[in-house]
Amino acid sequence: MKVIGINGSPRKEWNTATMLRYALNGAASKSAETKLVHLYDIDYKGCRSCFACKEKNGKSFGHCAINDGLTSVLDEIPEVDALILGSPIYFGEVTGEMRSFLERLLFPYLLYEEGGGTLFPRKIRTAWIYTMNVPENGVKKMGLDRVFQFNESLLEMLIGPCESLMSFDTLQFKDYSKYAAGRFDATSKLKRHRDIFPDDCQKAFNLGIRIVT
């Protein structure tokens, strides 16, 4: 059993990456082979709209034709048994790198024929992990519920069954006094990070177990 985690955060040791590691550790606890990829370490861009992946009998039909730093990751994903994507929420969406990754990963598998469908070779388990500064009661107000639902439906349609895990009201800085961030209660943020974030990490660990069993 192989599981790959994709970190869409520029930070390798913060909230999103931490939860991804817990999820992969959960999978590893059931003897899965795991790998964590940091998108911000890779030199790539999003879809170029060349449509080579849609060309009938073309050499890149069903595959992204761009050859860059992301190619080996895209080639590896059809060979794994589970895929976990993680991203912080920036301005109401996943990060730009994660969005570009999704374009490159998912669009080639989307059939343009009548009735749609997918060219992904088999169904595998998938999951989303999101971290955000937004409190849980602000999700609908910001329309994030629709973002989460849409992203989940994309994976379910093109790759396989998906579940989502959210960590709300996360800590952005270790020392709030260094930043112009007076709208936030630093004491409350630190307390939540100490008291609640470990529970979110445990949920990620449990997700990792579920995705391989």
- CA 208, CA 84: separation in Å to the nearest integer? 9
* Token pair for 5: 């985690």
Q: At what angle do helices 197-211 and 15-28 cross, to 10 degrees?
A: 40
DSSP the chain: -EEEEEE-SS-SSSHHHHHHHHHHHHHHTTT-EEEEEEGGGS---------GGGSTT-TTTTS----STTHHHHHHGGGSSEEEEEEE-BTTB--HHHHHHHHHHHGGGB--STT--B--SS--EEEEEEE-SS-GGGTTTTTHHHHHHHHHHHHHHHT--EEEEEE-S----S-GGGSS-TTS-HHHHHHHHHHTHHHHHHHHHHHHHHHT-
Predicted local distance difference test score (pLDDT) of residue 116? 81
One digit per residue, pLDDT tens: the chain, 213 residues? Answer: 999 999 999 999 999 999 999 999 999 999 999 999 999 999 999 999 999 999 999 999 999 999 999 999 999 999 999 999 999 999 999 999 999 999 999 999 999 988 889 999 999 999 999 999 999 999 999 999 999 999 999 999 999 999 999 999 999 988 898 999 888 899 999 999 999 999 999 999 999 999 999
Please answer whether residues 64 and 53 qualify as being in contact, where contact means their C-beta atoms are separated by less than 8 angstroms. Answer: yes
Burial grade of 194 (CB within 10 A; 0-12, 13-18, 19 or more): exposed
Do you know the residue count of the chain? 213
The ranges assigned to domains in the chain are 2-211
The model's pTM: 0.95
At 48 the pLDDT is: 95
Please give the pLDDT value at position 114. 85
First-to-last CA distance in the chain? 10
CATH superfamily, domain at 2-211: Flavodoxin domain (3.40.50.360)
